[in-house]
Structures are given as structure tokens and as C-alpha cells.
Structure 1
Amino acid sequence: MTESTQSTDATDSSTSNKDFAEAPAWEQRFRAPRVSLPEWAEDAPDRSLFVSNATGTFELYAWDRATGGQRQVTDRPNGTTDGTLSPDGTAIWWFADSDGDEFGVWMRQPFEGGADEPAVPGLDASYSAGLALGRDGTVVVGRSTDEDGSTVHLLRPGAEAPVEIYRHRESAGVGDLSRDGSLIAIEHTEHGDAMHSAIRVVRADSVSDGTSGGDSGGDSGGDSGGVPVVAELDDTKGGTEELGLSVLGFAPRAGDTRLLVGHQRRGRWEPMLWDVATGTETDLRLDLPGDVSAEWYPDGSGLLIEHGYEARTELWRYDIATGALVRVETPAGTVSDATARPDGTVEYLWSSAAVPPVVRSTDGSVVLDPPGPKAPASIAVEDVWVDGPGGRVHALVQRPAAGEGPFPTVFEVHGGPTWHDSDAFASAPAAWLDHGYAVVRVNYRGSTGYGREWTDALKHRVGLIELEDIAAVREWAVTSGLADPAKLVLSGGSWGGYLTLLGLGTQPDVWAVGLAAVPVADYVTAYEDEMEALKALDRTLLGGSPEEVPERFAASSPLTYVDRVKAPVHIVAGVNDPRCPIRQIDNYVDRLAARGAVHEVYRYDAGHGSLVVEERIKQLRLDLDFAARHLGTPGSAK
């Protein structure tokens, strides 16, 4: 039997408190108003910008802390989340794509409100590759297109058009602009490994209007297409292992040439200070296990340390003068974002698997509490460690509140692949728990937070390595009595959707249902149609292009194994998705249909995921009902 449904409509999401109260708890979690951590203008800290779903679509909002006034900045059918403030707080910049395709231009709007205008005249639409705004009005824009590769452009105050200062076929982007506007840090992968960036710092104040920077490809040779190079930092050279670097930000003081950099020299992410003028590197050597990131305190005296370890987060303050490391107290769980304020307090967005997110301050207050009903709580996670073929695998397990195992069990596979599941609130797993399923989330090889070796392990046997780790946890789940072996659901979105389809074909006898959202389904066609930056990543992961390593693409492609799929499969696809394009999904679906495999397809008119709340609810309801029909479990109840 073959079934398919198609729709591009998103329901109006305005919901009264009465409607909210009458909705099932799993829907309430999606509809409850929530906010991101507010970003604040560096020179006007009372002016903030945040994202909220208050209208039912995630949009940008301005907040004047001095007056308490808030207003909605953007209002688009498919939502807006990518925005920032000018340093003086007078302007809001936001990225305008078309229907979620991530291809667009930067727009600008006054903080107090007013008409939008193109922020960088003279630049055509592109994929965004970073943005930096200077105090004197200088703008640095990173772009990526299939035709040009990666380019960086500099716009001077009063200039009619931006000047191109960097170009390369491999992926690159804007890292940061120094406080005095004289230096630009660029992250690049000219060496060809898209997973491990190098850093180049160039002089912004040497570029005159109308001068083209040209192509800085390959060895810079001391310049960047005519733009003087101040410093280079490349940990991929001179060793047998390629190590990545990341730009964390210039020091917040005029004339200070120190750049905060993330490095992997000891097998994990750690911060260090690099003086780009002298070349001096200051290794912080923080005695913390797991990955460590950092940002500057506004006065430059210290660093706010974000420490991620075994799916939880801690915050610390590092004093640069003394080297003292002091804990910033936060509850157990996950800090998704944090920032140090000029008064020394720290604001952070916190949640746990059981407790919905809230923006808190170290002064004890709730910083920003959205009006309206609150999301119901969910169930805490249990940590499970399982011996896998590549080492111990960490999994987060949640059991439904009622009943005893074995339960129907959803293996919810995260995307990325360079990402990880954490002890953080998530509405989709909570919905499965409400319906009597256990939920298992596996931080397979390729996940972040467990060291560089774990993250880099999936090269060449892409997809197959991750599924080995999931298989080890699945065996534990069954033998421990948690999971009903006849009712195992493999589910995920993006890279998780890819692993779902690959798992259904390579492990056809163990999965009862598959639920794949915006997946890679046909790896070769996906490579042909995806954005240029992802082509570079695929070449890194698989060791070349489809023409160069066809056997690896075939081994890692779900399409290769589509005729082995036995489980009913539900696929959700965005028709404007630049990451997992629609044509390659259609190829896979056509193969399922040709052999009469049980499947359903839902296509929605947006990109790689939806920012519309009712659309997200609709997609999960389809998954719940699909699983219920094929497993004999409770459906979505609405």
C-alpha cells in the first residue's frame, strides 16, 4: 500500500487561553510563548533583541529595557530568527530569505521602528557566511554562493558599494571585527577540510573605496588579494592530525589586538588568547573535562566560560590577570546561551529535560518572562552508558510516567552530525512520553561534547558508524527491559532523518516504524543540489566528491538500500530546503512507491524546518498518528 499527503498550508496559530487550556499537554508545550536569550547592543546595553513565538511564528522583537517597551520587528509568513543589533543600538539587522530557503540579503530597520531597507546595497542574494558591524558604521559581510564560493565584503561609511576583500572556493566566513574597526578575523578552510577551520586576520583600515580584494586562495603569501594579512593561525599544518580553530571574539577594548580563539590541540575544544599583532599565544589550560568555550566580559577583565560535559552545562568566570576560575552558579541542566552584562551579572537561557526554558540572571531574577500560559513540565532524563564498537556511548533515556516496560520506544536521532543531545527541554520527546513511549537519544560518534576523536570518527564510513552506536544502545534498551523489540521507532530530522532512512535499509529487521524529517535520502543527488558549504562538508566526510569516491557515496546513501526497507516510513520534506533538497527525497520516495512499500509523505512550503508553531504541531501529529496506526499505540488524540 502506498499513501501520500501533500499540503503547503499553515494554520493560523493565534490561540486563546481557553483553547490553550483545552489542548493536550504536548500541544501546549509547542504553543506556550517562549523567548531566546536577549542580545544587547554593546554601547547601548538597555537596547536588546530577542526571538519569540508569541504570535505563533518565531520572529524578532526589540526590547528597550529602560522603558520596558517591546515591539515585534519582523512579520513574515515563514518566520525570522537571524538578526543582530548595531553596536550603538540604533539599528536592527535581519536576514531576509525566501520561504525558508536561507538564500537572501541583510535588511536594516531603526530600533524604534520604521521601514526596512537593504542594509548592504550592491550585494546580490546569497547564503549568509557571517556579519560584523563596526562602531564607525563599517560593515563586514560574509557570503556563499554556488557560483562564487565564499566571499567577504567590506562596506565603509558613506561608500556607495562594498569592496570584496576575500574569495575562495572552499567554505569561509566572517569571524569578528576588532573594537576599533581596524582588524577583520576570517575563518576559512582553504586546506580543504571543512570540519577544521583556520583563521586569517587582515587589516580593514587598509582597504580604500573601490579597491577589489580579489582571490586570496591557497597560501596567502603575506597578503589577501591585496589586503594586508596581519596574522595567520592554522593548526592543520605541520602535523599528522588536522585540528580546528574557531573565532570567539576580539577583546572589547579599542587598540587591544588579542583575539579569543577556540582550539583542539589537546583533543577537545578549549579557549586561548592570541595577540594577532605580536603572535603571542596564551594557553589558559582550564582544568575542566569536556568541551570548553568562552566569551569576553564587557570590560575585558575576564572570560565567561561555558563548560559542556556529558550533556550538561556549567558556567565559570576566568579572571585574566590572576588566572582564577570561579563557578557561576546555575541549576543542573543545560545553559543554551549565556552573556555577561556590563554590571558583571550573567544572563543565561536555561532548561532541563523536565523543566521548560527560562531566561535567568545571576542576580536571582527572571530576565524576560513572556506573557501567557506556561508550558507543562515533562520527565527527567536518565544517563545510560553502553559499550559500543568505538568506545562507550552516552544515551539519554526517558520513561513514560505511567506503566512498566517494555515500552514502545522512539530512538530520536539528533541532527548535525556535529551536535549532541543534552539535558534540555524539548517538546517533541515530551510528546512521545505523553503517549506512552519511552524515548532514547544517542550521542553517537560524530557528536560534539565528547572530545575531538569522537566527533571526527565518522569519516569515510559516514552514517554506518553512527548506526553502529545506535545499534549498541538499542540492544541495551531491549535486553534491559525498557524497549519492546516489536515496537521500535527510528526517528530524526536533518542528519537524524538521514540516519533514519539509512537505518531502515541497513537494519531492516529491527525497526517497526521509521519517521524521517528533511532527510538526506539520495546522497549523490543531495550533493548535486545542496548549498556549496555542505558540498565541502560532504567532501571532507567522505574523502572526495561522488565522482572521486563513488563507492563511499553509494555505501552511505539510503537510496542504495531502499529496496530492503520493510518498516512503514513517514517522510516530512521542505520544498525550499537548501540543505536536504526536495529532488533527492522525491527520488527515494519514487523507489518506495515503485515496489509498493508502505509510506506517507508530507511536503510543506518552507525550508529546513519550520518556524511556524502550528506547522510543527501538525508535523508531529502526523508522526504520532502514523506510528499509532502501525504499532497499535495511542494516537495524537486530536
Structure 2
Amino acid sequence: MGRMTQTNTADPAGEGMPRWEQRFRAPRVSLPEWAEDAPSRSLFVSNATGTYELYTWDRESGRQIQATDRPNGTTDGTLSPDGEWLWWFADTDGDEFGVWKRQPFTAAKGDGAKEAVPGLAPGYPAGLALGRDGTVVVGRSTDEDGSTIHVQLPGGEPVEIYRHRESAGVGDLSHDGDLLVIEHTEHGDAMHSALRVVRLDGTLVAELDDTEGGTRELGLAVLGFAPVTGDSRLLVGHQRRGRWEPMLWDPLTGEVRELAIDLPGDISAEWYPDGGALLVAHSHHARSELWRYDFDGTLERVDTPPGSVSGATARPDGSIEYLWSSAAEPPVVRSTRGAVVLDPPGLRAPGSVPVSDVWVEGPGGRVHALVQKPAGEGPFPTVFDLHGGPTWHDSDAFAAQPAAWVDHGYAVVRVNYRGSTGYGREWTDALKHRVGLIELEDIAAVRAWAIESGLADPERLVLTGGSWGGYLTLLGIGTRPDDWAVGIAAVPVADYVTAYHDEMDALKSLDRTLFGGGPDEVPERFAASSPLTYVDRVRAPVYISAGVNDPRCPIRQVENYVGRLAERGHPHEVYRYEAGHGSLVVAERVKQVGLELDFARRHLPDTGR
């Protein structure tokens, strides 16, 4: 189908480059998004130049253009329904605070890009919807205003139609542009959204709220309006039976139809372009697969290899394009027509070793972990690599960082602790009030298994992770100081009270939900869950990397923690870089992983094993 033609600055053969570095530098592409009314026009993200940027692709001519070119990269963008315009979000050096810009589909490297909604002040993005007549709906949040939604009609100025202190955002705009659905958490539970459908002047049409005013922990998610003019049905994700499932809601008639799809895990879905069926994504026990669901109840499996499908879309010709990978095999965009959809040039990422599944009895139920190990016999030096989120999960998907540890002789264990998605609503919602401490109980249970099974050398255990995983790393080496030989935390929460005061407003709402209030209301809970509380108990050498523009885990709270380590004279290293919550620059990411590998090598004890 398509082959990228951009110049690749990486060494095409990877000569002289370690395999772990090749995995980061090898060009990758995202699943292409296509314009609803011009399906030959597509948009995707690639790191082909060494920085993740947006690319447009005209499938009829085969022409691909690097559409954005910014020092710290660009990944947040979409096409107008007619495919004539690319919209992309412009922040400053990864701080996630900015404005939407618009440029012609055929423009290269930001040429002709202009502020898309003049007069609308910068903010954190909270959804965008584009109508066929030129209507624009923009969701944004700021610390001063909370969540706001603005509508700009063709030829008009942006008009605010929604405002609330709690988090909210744009869900979707109906195909004919008459109805707008808003996801909101006005009831105060930032983990479980309710839905409100309004006209474009803000007039209420209907409400759908499974939380019963916040008394029930049930959430809803917008999956999209029917892609047919005159069809007001909205596809909605719900949790009424303890997991994510789709249902249909018509806000004009009030009719709700739950769809009986007999699959054991979490189920998401999107419309086929003609509105006659659903493309179902089924996630279960760290793997995923695709199905076609017809509204007569017929469910048909879409043939995909074992592993993980991280994105899929049904095309107007009936084919399905999907982004697939496994822990052993790098990602590729495939089509059910049997072709590779996009084939990046240059260096090919080496594969890695497959994962094995481990189930361990924990204090809150069976804990699922994924294990990769190098050649040879254990016990191995072992890395516990903790995922972020916390509402996320590790899966049988390709990940360059765990593969790098395996290349260096480490076993890698990834734990889907309580708080992770993919194991039912109760598992995801279990971490409230004892934040961080609950997850560490599950990690401790898997750690005990790893030692007892002979996999892990108890004297050479590394605890690491990024974002929420970085937070758990610092909390873990403080609350369980004898368990870990080294701690490596990327963009972590280190001082929870300071992080709360400095973070973006939407995350304040999430923290109030997790803790049952803010730090002034439940100070004892914040203290119990803050790594800073336990910093003087830390024994393991500590490595921390942090983005100086990070709005999620701000730099001041990291400096507070590092200052306490320095006061003690405790061995630690800190790497600060000019970006936000992680970097989109490949060379920067390679540098960071190299520093982490080197830190572990220098500080792990040599047991002679």
C-alpha cells in the first residue's frame, strides 16, 4: 500500500549500533487516521526524522508530507471531515498548554499554519470536534477557568457554552452537526464520567449518568455518534456489568440498547463507515483482538495474529486497518486485505523475546504479571518495570525499554497491579484512599514469587517506571527499603502535596477522587502516600529523570525530594531535560535509557552469579 519517502537520518543498516538502540531509532508509524468524507486523505505520526511529527498521506497519489516540524515534536492532530485541513495542537516545549493551529493538507513542516480559533486563550486541550459546515468545538482547561467548551460557527467568533470547575471535555459532534456530547465529572468523581448532549448553543437535550450523583462508581465513555446523517444514535461505553462494554443511546428518544457481546474482557467499539455494524476491540489478560458485530447479534472474529492490537479502523471498502505488535515482534500497520499499510524506510527494529504469563495470589486477588528473561539459567538480576497511568496496563505488545533490559542480561517483570485496566471495574477502582500502597502490595506479592521461583536474584532487584510507575518506584524504595537494590524513576510524583498544588487542574480533580479530598482535607492520606514522607528510609541508590516543563509531575516537587536525598548525602543522580512529561525526540530518549542502564550497571552489587 504505502511506503514512506521521507529522509531517514538513522543509520539504515544499524551498523555499530546496539540492538537496544536500534529499537528506539528504527522508524515507526502510527495507525493512519482518514478524513471521514475524503478517505483517500490520511494522517499519521512517525519518528522517521528522529522526532515524532505529523505526516499527511494522499493515498491516491502516494504522496506523503512531513506536516509539522518542531524541536520537541508534535503528535496531537486531526483532519477536517473534507480532508482539506490539518489541525494540530501547539504547546511550548512539551508543557501541554497552548492553542490549536490549522494548515492546508498539502502544507509541509508547518507552512501556512495559523491559529485556528483566534481570540480563544491558550489552555490544556480537552477535546476537539469539527463539523462538515466548518463548525468548530474546542474543549480546554486552565487553572483559572476550570473546564470550558467553546463553539465557533462558520464566520463567527468562539462562544463559550460550558464551564465547570471539575474536569470535562468534548466527546463528539453528530454527523449532521446538530448535537454535541460532553463528557463531564460534575459529580466530583474524576474517574467516572457522565454524558450530556446539547445543541450548539448549549441548550440541554439529554443526560446519561450511571454514577447516581457520584454514589456509584460507574462510568461512561463516548465512542462516537453514528456516521450517518439523520441518525442520532450515540455509541457509548458503560460499566454496568463490571467491565467496559458498548451500548447505543439515542438522546432524542431516550432509547438505550445494551449490546450482548459474549466476550470475557473489556470491550470497546467503533462504527463501520456505513453505520451498519461495529468494529469491536476486545482486551483480555494483556492481549487484544478484533471482531465485527452486526446489529442482528452476529459476532464474527477478524483474523489478527496473537498479541496486541493498539488501534484499528474500518475503511469504506470494508477492509480493516490495524496496528499490531507483540512483545517479540515490532509494530506494523496491517490490513485485512493482507498488505502492510505503511512501510517505513531504513533501519528495521530487531525483535525481542516473548513474554510469559504469571498469576500470583495477592492480598486483593490474583495478580497478573508479564515476564521476559534472557538466555541462560536464573536467578537473574531482575527489573520490575512498572507502568504508568495508573489506569493503564502492560500488554503483550512491543516495548523497546523492557527489551533493552533483556539485552543486558536482566529478567523483566511487569505487574498489572490493582488500578490497572483490563481486569474489570473493581480491579481498576481498588486503589482509592490508600493510593500507591495498594499497588505496592501486589508488586510485593509478585516479587516474592520471582525470588521463590528462582527467576530473580534477591540481591539484584531494580525497581523502575515512568510517570505513575516512577511514583511507585520512589514510594516503593521508601516504604520497602530492604526489597530493592536500585531505584530508577522517570517523570515521577515525588512530593505529592507539592505535586498537587503545581499540577494541571484536571489532575487535581483526579487526585481528589483518589484520595477522597485535597491535601488540606485529608492530609494524613497524602502523607501516607507521598514518597517524600519516606525519603529518609531509602537505602537503594536513586536515579531520577524529569522534564523541566512537565505539567503532570512538575519539577518543583522533584527538586524537593532530590534536596532531601542531598541533605542525607544519599547516592543519587538526577537528569533534567528541556521537555514535558517525556520526550518525543528519539536521541533524547536513547540518551535517557542509556543513562538508566549505566546507573544500574554501576550500582547493582556483583554477587558473582
* TM-score tier (shorter): over 0.9
Equivalent position amino acid for 2:203 in 1: P
Select which of 120, 130, 133 maps to 1:133.
Answer: 130
Select which of 141, 146, 162 maps to 1:144.
Answer: 141
Partner Cα separation in structure 2 for residue 593 and residue 80 of structure 1: 36
What aligned pairs does 1:16-27 form with structure 2 within 5 A after superposition?
A: 16-17=11-12, 20-27=14-21
Quote how far apart the aligned CAs of 1:255 are: 1.2
Is 1:345 matched with 2:319? Answer: yes
Partner SS state of residue 594, structure 2: helix
The equivalent of 1:582 in structure 2 is 555
Equivalent position amino acid for 2:419 in 1: G
Q: Normalized against structure 2, the TM-score is what?
A: 0.97
Select which of 222, 239, 247 maps to 1:272.
Answer: 247
Select which of 384, 390, 398 maps to 1:417.
Answer: 390
Partner Cα separation in structure 2 for residue 120 and residue 329 of structure 1: 43
The equivalent of 2:353 in structure 1 is 379
The equivalent of 2:343 in structure 1 is 369
Quote how far apart the aligned CAs of 1:239 are: 8.4
Select which of 369, 380, 384 maps to 1:407.
Answer: 380
Equivalent position amino acid for 1:151 in 2: T
The equivalent of 2:162 in structure 1 is 166
Cα contact 1:248–1:262 (8 A) shared by 2: yes
The equivalent of 2:3 in structure 1 is none
Partner SS state of residue 22, structure 1: coil
Partner Cα separation in structure 2 for residue 69 and residue 494 of structure 1: 37
Partner Cα separation in structure 2 for residue 78 and residue 240 of structure 1: 42
The equivalent of 1:47 in structure 2 is 41
Select which of 122, 128, 142 maps to 2:119.
Answer: 122
Partner SS state of residue 203, structure 2: strand
Task: Write out per-residue CA displacement over residues 27-67 of structure 1, whole angstroms, 9 at most, x where no aligned residue.
Answer: 00000011000000000000000000000000000000000
Is 1:614 matched with 2:587? Answer: yes
Q: 1:340 to 1:506 in 2, by over 3 A?
A: same
Partner SS state of residue 89, structure 2: strand
Partner SS state of residue 551, structure 1: helix
Quote how far apart the aligned CAs of 1:240 are: 4.9
Equivalent position amino acid for 2:64 in 1: Q
Task: Write out per-residue CA displacement over residues 97-120 of structure 1, whole angstroms, 9 at most, x where no aligned residue.
Answer: 000000000000100114100111
Partner SS state of residue 331, structure 1: coil
Partner SS state of residue 21, structure 1: coil
The equivalent of 1:290 in structure 2 is 265
Equivalent position amino acid for 1:259 in 2: L
Select which of 315, 336, 345 maps to 2:290.
Answer: 315
What aligned pairs does 1:154-193 form with structure 2 within 5 A after superposition?
A: 154-159=151-156, 161-193=157-189
Cα contact 1:576–1:608 (8 A) shared by 2: yes
Partner SS state of residue 197, structure 2: strand
Is 1:87 matched with 2:81? Answer: yes
Equivalent position amino acid for 2:264 in 1: P
Calculate percent identity across the aligned residue pairs.
77
Is 1:561 matched with 2:558? Answer: no
Partner SS state of residue 602, structure 2: helix
What aligned pairs does 1:430-445 form with structure 2 within 5 A after superposition?
A: 430-445=403-418
Quote how far apart the aligned CAs of 1:633 are: 7.0
Partner Cα separation in structure 2 for residue 189 and residue 457 of structure 1: 19
The equivalent of 1:110 in structure 2 is 104
Cα contact 1:177–1:184 (8 A) shared by 2: yes
Cα contact 1:627–1:633 (8 A) shared by 2: no
Is 1:388 matched with 2:362? Answer: yes
Task: Write out per-residue CA displacement over residues 222-253 of structure 1, whole angstroms, 9 at most, x where no aligned residue.
Answer: xxxxx321110000117852200000000001
Quote how far apart the aligned CAs of 1:291 are: 0.4
Task: Write out per-residue CA displacement over residues 603-623 of structure 1, whole angstroms, 9 at most, x where no aligned residue.
Answer: 000000000001001000000
Partner SS state of residue 617, structure 1: helix
The equivalent of 2:220 in structure 1 is 245
Is 1:501 matched with 2:474? Answer: yes
Cα contact 2:307–2:396 (8 A) shared by 1: yes
Equivalent position amino acid for 1:505 in 2: G
Cα contact 2:328–2:353 (8 A) shared by 1: yes
Equivalent position amino acid for 2:207 in 1: E
Is 1:629 matched with 2:576? Answer: no
The equivalent of 1:514 in structure 2 is 487
Partner Cα separation in structure 2 for residue 121 and residue 566 of structure 1: 53
Partner SS state of residue 288, structure 2: strand
The equivalent of 1:471 in structure 2 is 444
Task: Write out per-residue CA displacement over residues 373-406 of structure 1, whole angstroms, 9 at most, x where no aligned residue.
Answer: 2100000000000000000000000011x22100
Quote how far apart the aligned CAs of 1:285 are: 1.6
Partner Cα separation in structure 1 for residue 366 and residue 498 of structure 2: 34
Task: Write out per-residue CA displacement over residues 188-218 of structure 1, whole angstroms, 9 at most, x where no aligned residue.
Answer: 00000000000000012xx3xxxxxxxxxxx
Select which of 20, 26, 29 maps to 2:23.
Answer: 29
Select which of 265, 276, 288 maps to 1:301.
Answer: 276
Partner Cα separation in structure 2 for residue 298 and residue 599 of structure 1: 54
Is 1:526 matched with 2:499? Answer: yes
Equivalent position amino acid for 2:355 in 1: V
Equivalent position amino acid for 1:16 in 2: D
The equivalent of 2:196 in structure 1 is 200
The equivalent of 2:234 in structure 1 is 259
Select which of 425, 434, 444 maps to 1:452.
Answer: 425
Equivalent position amino acid for 1:166 in 2: Y
Cα contact 1:542–1:549 (8 A) shared by 2: yes
Partner Cα separation in structure 1 for residue 139 and residue 55 of structure 2: 24
Task: Write out per-residue CA displacement over residues 580-600 of structure 1, whole angstroms, 9 at most, x where no aligned residue.
Answer: 000000000000000011100
The equivalent of 1:73 in structure 2 is 67
Gaps of 5+ in 1: 1-12, 208-226
The equivalent of 2:5 in structure 1 is none
Partner Cα separation in structure 1 for residue 222 and residue 511 of structure 2: 23
Equivalent position amino acid for 2:499 in 1: A
Stretch deviating more after TM superposition (367-376 or 570-579): 367-376
The equivalent of 1:100 in structure 2 is 94
The equivalent of 1:214 in structure 2 is none
The equivalent of 1:14 in structure 2 is 9
Cα contact 1:409–1:489 (8 A) shared by 2: yes
Task: Write out per-residue CA displacement over residues 333-374 of structure 1, whole angstroms, 9 at most, x where no aligned residue.
Answer: 000000000011100000000000000000111001111121
Quote how far apart the aligned CAs of 1:15 are: 2.7
Partner Cα separation in structure 2 for residue 135 and residue 498 of structure 1: 43
Partner Cα separation in structure 1 for residue 297 and residue 78 of structure 2: 32
Quote how far apart the aligned CAs of 1:21 are: 2.0
Cα contact 1:200–1:233 (8 A) shared by 2: yes
Computed over aligned residues only, the root mean square deviation of the Cα atoms, in angstroms, reads 1.1
Quote how far apart the aligned CAs of 1:631 are: 1.4
Cα contact 2:310–2:322 (8 A) shared by 1: yes
Q: 1:238 to 1:612 in 2, by over 3 A?
A: closer
Partner SS state of residue 528, structure 1: helix
Partner Cα separation in structure 1 for residue 574 and residue 196 of structure 2: 45
Is 1:542 matched with 2:518? Answer: no
Partner SS state of residue 500, structure 2: helix
Partner Cα separation in structure 2 for residue 241 and residue 385 of structure 1: 30
